[in-house]
Structure 1
Amino acid sequence: MNNEFSGVGERLRQLLKKNKLKQVDVCYAAGISKNAMSNYISGNRVPDTKALYKLSKVFTVSMEWLLTGDENVTTIALGQTEKSMLDLFRGLSHEDREEIIMLIDLKYHRSRSKKGNK
Structure 2
Amino acid sequence: MIPQRLKALRKSKQLTQEQLGKEINVTKVSVSGYENGNRTPDTATLQRIADFFAVSVDYLLGRTDKPTSILTPASSQENLFFLDEESITPEEAEELKKHLEFLRYKAKEVNREEME
Q: What's the TM-score bracket when you normalise by the shorter of the two chains? A: 0.5 to 0.7
* Structure 2 alignment gaps of length 5 or more: 83-116
State the superposition RMSD in angstroms: 2.6
Gaps of 5+ in 1: 1-6, 90-100, 102-118
Report which of the two has the higher share of helix: 1
The C-alpha deviation readout for 1:68-95, integer Å capped at 9, x for no partner, is 151246252344xx736x3xx9xxxxxx
Distance 1:45 1:53, change over 3 A: same
Matching residue of 2:64 = 70
What residue number does 2:30 align with?
A: 36
Larger radius of gyration: 1
1:45 partner SS: coil
Work out whether residues 62 and 74 of structure 1, in 8 Å CA contact, stay in contact via their aligned partners in 2.
yes
TM-score normalized by the length of structure 2: 0.58
The structure-2 alpha-carbon separation of the partners of 1:30 and 1:71, relative to structure 1 and needing over 3 Å to count, comes to same
One-letter amino acid of the counterpart of residue 24, structure 1: E
Aligned partner of residue 77 in structure 2, secondary structure: helix
Cα distance in 2 for partners of 1:44, 1:69 equals 20
Change (3 A) 1:64 1:28: same
Which AA in structure 2 matches 1:53?
A: Q
- Where has structure 1 moved over 3 Å in runs of 4 or more? none
In 1, Cα distance between equivalents of 2:70 and 2:38: 28
Taking every aligned residue pair, what percent have the same amino acid on both sides?
28
- 1:36-67 Cα deviation digits (max 9, x unpaired): 11110110122110110011111111111011
Q: How many residues align?
A: 80
The whole-number CA distance in structure 2 between the counterparts of 1:51 and 1:11 is: 15
